[in-house]
Amino acid sequence: MEGHLTMSKKERERLVVMAKVMKSEMKISEPYDGCEASELLDLSYRQTFRIAKRYGKEGAGGAGASESRSGIESGGG
């Protein structure tokens, strides 16, 4: 299934929000700025920034969780 990504509902939501961040339609937002990407995703500013950075480098695959990043393949950590 080359060229396809399997994503959960949460990952798809993250992808939509990150696309808006990249197009400057939405801000990542500091905690005191109000409802923006970090609040919609229920993540901290720092977590949202890291996901946005990964999305910018890797595209759609960078917006979701990966086994190696979550520690599943590397044995935790």
Whether 17 is covered by a domain: the verdict is yes
Residue 73 resides in a domain: no
Instruction: Report CA Rg, the chain.
Output: 13
Instruction: State the angle between helix axes of 45-58 and 9-22 in degrees (0 to 180), rounded to the nearest 10.
Output: 80
Convert the pLDDT of each residue in 13-41 to its tens digit.
888 889 988 888 888 876 555 568 888 88
In a domain, residue 70? The reply is no
Helix (H, G, I), strand (E, B) or coil at 44: coil
Q: How many domains would you assign to the chain?
A: 1
Q: Indicate the pTM of the whole model.
A: 0.64
- Residue 71 backbone class (left: φ over 0; alpha: ψ -120 to 50; beta: rest): left
SS (H, E, C) 47-71: HHHHHHHHHHHHCHHHHCCCHHHHC
Predicted pLDDT at 39: 87
In a domain, 71, yes or no: no
> In terms of pLDDT, which residue wins out, 63 or 11?
11
In this structure, is residue 40 part of a structural domain? yes
Range of the domain at 39: 9-65
